[in-house]
Amino acid sequence: MQLEDYPSYNPESPTNHYDYPLCSRYASEQMKHIFSPNFKFSTWRKLWVILAKAEKQLGLDFITEQQIKELEDNIYNIDFAKAHQYEVQLKHDVMAHVHAYGDVAPNARKIIHLGVTSAYVGDNTDLIQIKEGLLLVKRRLVTLIKTLANFADKYKDLPTLGYTHFQAAQLTTVGKRATLWLKSFMFDLAEVEHRLETLEFRGVKGTTGTAASFKELFGDDFSKVQALDNLVTQMAGFKQKQEVSGQTYDRKQDTFVLQTLADIASSAHKFTNDFRLLQHLKELEEPFGKKQIGSSAMAYKRNPMRCERISALAKFVLSLEINGHLVHSTQWFERTLDDSANKRLSYPQAFLAVDAMLLVLQNIAEGIVVYEKMITRNVMRELPFMATEDIIMDAVKKGMDRQEVHEIIRELSMEQARLVKQEGQDNRLIEAIIADGRLPISAHEIKDLLQPSNYIGFAPQQVSAYLEQVINPMLERNAAFILENKTEFSV
């Protein structure tokens, strides 16, 4: 069928075009701006201004201050329609924007892009976008960690069932479990900071990385070429540059970035797995709006759709990680262009999706609903089994044989487990021990043993120590990165 055969088709209507949900539904305005045409192409122009300034500073006196000022004055004066027309004719995006820039800065036209290849603006802009994206991700991570730390501190003493293999195990506390989520996100924060610290600028390397064009501009003065590379790197706000390159920066850097974003996705997914299970157990619940509908059919439902959105986006980001390896491993010699279309998709989408995940995570963390009575009920359902070890110790202290006591407890425990599982009865092991009468322990003594706080080990102290020794110092170091505004959940 032709498009015209569809009655609803109207080429002028935006509703007839694919609506990219990462932009229209999920990611923040800040992250969308970093990967927007305005940011990208104004950064190209800033890089051309930096290049002209550095070249003039290093002795290319035919570049005038007036030309540089003309370039600076028109950084944001971008005629996108005109640039598109040029690209249609030239089939080259960089040269299209060189011509469009030259149209609004005619006196500087002849020095735009002097001595460099397309990768100078393309690759260096990619790296600037990556850096800005990582900085925004860091802000969201630090803020999330602060919010989860407050939650952990508030509930550090509240006993809850711990699980191994999703089978009831020893008790922990609600706050201690939250520190496990915190630890994963702290690993991620360390990786983000490492990426920011070690991200290498491409700099000024020439067409195949030999800087041959600058040999013509600066003669045989290699020190000038090195100085140009260093100066442009510093002016662009980077601490270090790639020492050698082909035409492009080493695509290995993209694998590092996508791995870091995938790490965050993994932690986010793990959090939502735990949270969805706890919501099923009716112990914790994500925020639920007053007018929110959980199901179109089942009006009573309160589905964990925020967590489900995060886990869906996390799977997407995890699938994008492989792109970095595919691109890096298939680059030929100094470069091939089969990286370009992939890079336009993979790492911007990964950043947008991680941004969206962290926004929803923050919204959940700010509004976690804790059902303390339900948590206690679930604890007390299993606590009699956990208390048997203390009961054994108490009976031995009173003169009984440990093995004899163990056998009595085992018999009674197995029968109670059968009644719980097969007949749906409540756990009455303690009542059964008292009624059995073979153990020298009173109802009052057993009641003292059935205090959940007796079975949480050092969980509260571990939470306090982790927050005081690790989390709080990190938050102090990164106080400027903490976002203060409450995070609203949007469709």
Enumerate the active-site residues: 165, 295
Contacts of 446 (CB under 8 A, 6+ apart): 387, 391, 430, 433, 434
Contacts of 451 (CB under 8 A, 6+ apart): none
Contacts of 26 (CB under 8 A, 6+ apart): 309, 313, 352, 353, 355, 356, 359
Contacts of 478 (CB under 8 A, 6+ apart): 138, 142
**Rounded CA gap, 183 and 36, in Å?**
33
Sign of dihedral through CA atoms 63, 69, 75, 80? negative
Where would I find the beta strands (DSSP E) of 18-174?
159-164, 167-173
**Rounded CA gap, 274 and 301, in Å?**
19
Q: Do the Cβ atoms of 237 and 244 come closer than 8 Å?
A: no
**Rounded CA gap, 198 and 196, in Å?**
6
Which phi and psi (to 5°) does residue 169 adopt?
Answer: -125, -150
Centre a 10 Å sphere on the Cβ of residue 273 and count the other Cβ atoms it contains.
13
Centre a 10 Å sphere on the Cβ of residue 255 and count the other Cβ atoms it contains.
19
**Rounded CA gap, 133 and 320, in Å?**
16
Find, among 355, 340, 272, the residue nearest to 22 by Cα.
Answer: 355
To which H or E segment does residue 369 belong? strand 369-370
Contacts of 30 (CB under 8 A, 6+ apart): 136, 355
- Alpha helix (H) residue ranges in 220-304: 222-235, 252-280
Find, among 462, 405, 410, 475, the residue nearest to 438 by Cα.
Answer: 405
Q: Do the Cβ atoms of 175 and 124 come closer than 8 Å?
A: no
CA of residue 345 relative to chain centroid, distance: 18
Q: Do the Cβ atoms of 264 and 181 come closer than 8 Å?
A: no
Quote the longest CA-to-CA distance of the chain.
104
Residue whose structure tokens are 């969201």: 140
Find, among 398, 389, 399, 465, the residue nearest to 429 by Cα.
Answer: 389
